[in-house]
Homo-oligomer: A and B are copies of this chain.
Amino acid sequence: MAGAHTLRETERHVDERLAGMDIDFQAMAVTSNLFRAASAVRNHLERSVLAAHDLSWSAFVVLWVVWIWEDIETREIAAEAGFSKATLTGVLNTLEKRGYSTRKRSKDDGRLVIVSMTAKGRKLMEQLFPLFNKQEQFVASALASKNQPIVADGLRKITELTEPAGEN
């Protein structure tokens, strides 16, 4: 369990504190459960898959994006992975130091940097991702199969609604 108290205890305290305050409890449940789930799943995946390879969460996300897109511009990686370009610089330094990826300047535009995967990086992902997906299956197994698309679509709609247009 998450907290030291049961759900029912928590509900009672919340109801007391918020009595007469016109609160949307259903919406509250959606967001609070969203954060708990994301945190729990991230920890689970880090421990069950990434820790053995000493990979941080963001390092794995970057590896994934580069693996899928191959020869991708760094600005695109930042957008896909969902964090700032400052953070990306550090992660790429680490990955490059370990020999998983390489950087080269774009010939068409001297400002851009293109990231590629090394054979070593590709090998890692070919080994790692199936294990990762096995754990994703475990996570999704908490849901009835018919509910999985409903949850996935709902989360995607939430993302689209709340995500600002221009990131970085």
Contact = CB atoms under 8 A, between A and B. Distances in A.
Interface of A: 1-5, 10, 13-14, 17-18, 21-24, 26-31, 33-45, 67-69, 75-76, 79-80, 82, 129-130, 133, 136-143, 145, 147-152, 154-165
Q: Which 10 pairs between the two chains have the least Cβ-Cβ distance?
A: A38-B38, A27-B140, A33-B155, A3-B80, A44-B162, A29-B152, A37-B155, A142-B157, A142-B161, A40-B163
Contact of A41 (B34, B39, B43, B129): B34
Number of copies: 2
A17 B67 contact: yes
B68 A10 contact: yes
A99 B80 CA distance: 40
A151 B30 contact: yes
6 contacts: A3-B80, A26-B148, A29-B148, A30-B136, A30-B151, A142-B157
Contact of A141 (B1, B37, B161): B161
A41 to B, nearest CB: 5
Contacts of A28: 133, 136
A149 to B, nearest CB: 7
A10, A137, A159, most chain B CB atoms within 10 A: A159
Given A133-B24, A152-B33, A162-B41, A2 B139 contact: no
